[in-house]
């Protein structure tokens, strides 16, 4: 009896050592969650009213309970390194099903997908195209490595002051004769293919408080529009401040360039001509420069043409019973009947923690001192049970010797 009881203790201590060894071996594994061996006693069934004199039959391993305590967060220099500060798991898909992980050491594969080190693709809610995200579906996060499409300039905004004391030019307007206009403002504009072109607005005074604005793009005339100011120097015509010019065919295979020049804040005061701020809404094609992931998991792509776009929001999952999650290796878990269905959401809202970009969550067994203390305890338990075996064997040998006499 004592032999079997002590043997169960040795087996239990060995199981405890195995769990501790696994914890220590993963002390440097990103996102790893340690386990704890839990035991229960074994009590033989006895007859009625005999429990008070019955002894136990040893111990057995009841459960290897996962410990989901937060690991330390270490900053890195990689924007695809992600950590969750608080509750939740990243959602991945390896093609065979959905997985959940705390290991945020993601990378980009040759096809532009963001994947774990085992190749599972990170899941996001896709952009709905109107400034939000479609939380009804999940998709693989793919960083667009092609170009950000070019946008043709459609509106140019100019702020300037035209001198009220300027004289009316004595000769008809001509871009080649600087005496035929009073002032000019250059601006770079873009066609539908992203090519840049030189646009110039020439101002020629036509009378008291009246001016003509001539627009040329790469030397091609886009027409002339009139401006009128009141006696205080404020613009009165056009009433909406927009000068709409004729489309210009640039002859390079792009769409004809139709420009509206907004001069709402243009004035006519007695001071000299001054060009203020100039802006336009077109841009050339651009390549992906970098990505940014904020605390809510919104993934923003930045391009070399100074444009940016939100391409998705990280999906975060949580479970009613974390102990019910099934380990699948590679610091990943799968849902089970015991864990319950994944509760899906986004970072920083409700029960879900915040995302830290450029950071990784360390193993929660990285404090090896605590693990070594547990190992010493397990070792002593093993040795104590081994001593019981030795003692019981000695007693049995003495008994057999006495009987044989």
DSSP output for 232-261: TSBEEESTTSEEE---B--SSSSPPB--EE
User: CB burial class (10 A; 0-12, 13-18, 19+) of residue 329?
Assistant: exposed
pLDDT by residue (tens digit) across 170-195?
999 999 999 999 999 999 999 999 99
Q: Which of 14-18, 286-290, 385-389 has the highest mean pLDDT?
A: 14-18
pLDDT by residue (tens digit) across 47-59?
655 566 667 778 8
Quick one: average pLDDT of 98-124?
Answer: 95
What is the value of pTM for the model shown? 0.75
What pLDDT is stored for residue 10 in this prediction?
87
Residues near 61 by beta carbon (within 8 Å), at least 6 away in sequence: 11, 12, 15, 37, 38, 39
How far apart CA 6 and CA 18 sit, in angstroms, is 18
The answer to whether 86 and 96 are in contact (CB under 8 A) is no
What pLDDT is stored for residue 48 in this prediction?
59
What pLDDT is stored for residue 235 in this prediction?
96
What pLDDT is stored for residue 149 in this prediction?
86
Domain at 155-280, CATH from 1.10.630.10, 2.40.50.140, 2.60.98.20, 3.40.50.2300: 2.60.98.20
Mean pLDDT, the chain, rounded, equals 91
1 has a pLDDT exceeding 70? no
> 3-class DSSP state for residue 375?
helix
What pLDDT is stored for residue 147 in this prediction?
67
Per-position b or e across 74-107, b if 16+ CB within 10 A of its CB: eeeeeebbbbbbebbbbbbbbeeebbbbbbbbbe
User: Where along the chain do its domains lie?
Assistant: 2-69+364-404, 73-148+287-361, 155-280
How far apart CA 150 and CA 152 sit, in angstroms, is 7
Portion of the chain with pLDDT greater than 90, in percent? 71
The answer to whether 222 and 246 are in contact (CB under 8 A) is yes
How far apart CA 213 and CA 225 sit, in angstroms, is 5
The answer to whether 255 and 152 are in contact (CB under 8 A) is yes
317 backbone dihedrals φ, ψ, rounded to 5°? -120, 150
395 has a pLDDT exceeding 70? yes
What pLDDT is stored for residue 50 in this prediction?
59
pLDDT by residue (tens digit) across 293-348?
999 999 999 988 888 889 999 999 999 999 999 999 999 999 999 999 999 999 99
Residue among 104, 280, 277, 124 nearest 190 (CA) = 280
Residue among 356, 402, 374, 381 nearest 20 (CA) = 374
Of 5-9, 96-100, 167-171, 259-263, least confident by mean pLDDT is: 5-9
Give ∠ CA 360-363-369 in degrees, rounded to 5: 135
Per-residue confidence at 288, pLDDT binned at 50, 70, 90? confident
Quick one: average pLDDT of 364-373?
Answer: 90
The answer to whether 67 and 19 are in contact (CB under 8 A) is no
42 has a pLDDT exceeding 90? no
Quick one: average pLDDT of 25-43?
Answer: 91
What pLDDT is stored for residue 3 in this prediction?
76
pLDDT by residue (tens digit) across 112-154?
999 999 999 999 999 988 889 999 999 999 987 656 889 999 9
Residue with more model confidence, 224 or 271: 224
> 3-class DSSP state for residue 125?
strand
């Amino acid at each position: 009896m004592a032999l079997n009881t002590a043997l169960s203790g040795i087996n239990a201590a060995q199981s405890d050592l195995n769990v501790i060894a696994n914890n220590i071996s993963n002390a440097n594994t990103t996102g790893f969650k340690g386990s704890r061996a839990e035991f229960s006693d074994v009590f033989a069934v006895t007859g009625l009213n005999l429990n008070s004199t019955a002894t136990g039959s040893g111990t057995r391993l009841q459960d290897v309970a996962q410990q989901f305590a937060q690991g330390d967060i270490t900053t890195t220099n990689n924007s695809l390194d992600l950590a969750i500060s608080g509750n939740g798991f990243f959602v991945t898909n390896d093609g065979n099903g959905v997985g959940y992980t705390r290991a945020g050491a993601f990378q980009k594969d040759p096809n532009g997908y963001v994947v774990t080190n085992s190749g599972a693709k990170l899941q996001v809610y896709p952009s709905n195209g109107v400034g939000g995200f479609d939380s009804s579906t999940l998709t693989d996060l793919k960083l667009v490595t092609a170009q950000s499409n070019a946008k043709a300039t459609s509106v140019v905004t100019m702020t300037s002051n035209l001198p009220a004391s300027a004289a009316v030019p004595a000769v008809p307007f001509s871009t080649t004769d600087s005496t035929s206009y009073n002032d000019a403002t250059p601006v770079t504009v873009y066609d539908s293919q992203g090519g840049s072109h030189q646009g110039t607005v020439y101002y020629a005074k036509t009378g008291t408080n009246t001016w003509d604005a001539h627009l040329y793009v790469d030397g091609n005339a886009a027409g002339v529009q009139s401006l009128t100011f009141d006696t205080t120097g404020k613009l009165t015509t056009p009433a909406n401040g927009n000068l709409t010019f004729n489309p210009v065919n640039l002859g390079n295979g792009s769409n004809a360039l139709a420009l509206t020049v907004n001069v709402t804040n243009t004035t006519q005061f007695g001071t000299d001509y001054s060009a203020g701020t100039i802006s336009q809404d077109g841009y050339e094609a651009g390549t992906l420069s970098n990505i940014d992931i904020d605390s809510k998991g919104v993934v923003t792509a930045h391009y070399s043409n100074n444009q940016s776009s939100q391409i998705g929001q990280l999906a975060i999952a949580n479970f009613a019973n974390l102990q019910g999650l099934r380990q699948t290796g590679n610091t990943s878990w799968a849902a089970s009947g015991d864990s319950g269905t994944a509760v899906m959401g986004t970072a920083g809202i409700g029960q879900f923690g915040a995302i830290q970009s450029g950071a990784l969550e360390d193993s929660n067994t990285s404090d090896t001192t605590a693990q070594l203390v547990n190992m010493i305890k397990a070792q002593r338990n093993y040795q104590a049970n081994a001593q019981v075996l030795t003692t019981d064997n000695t007693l049995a040998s003495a008994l057999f010797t006495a009987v044989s006499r």
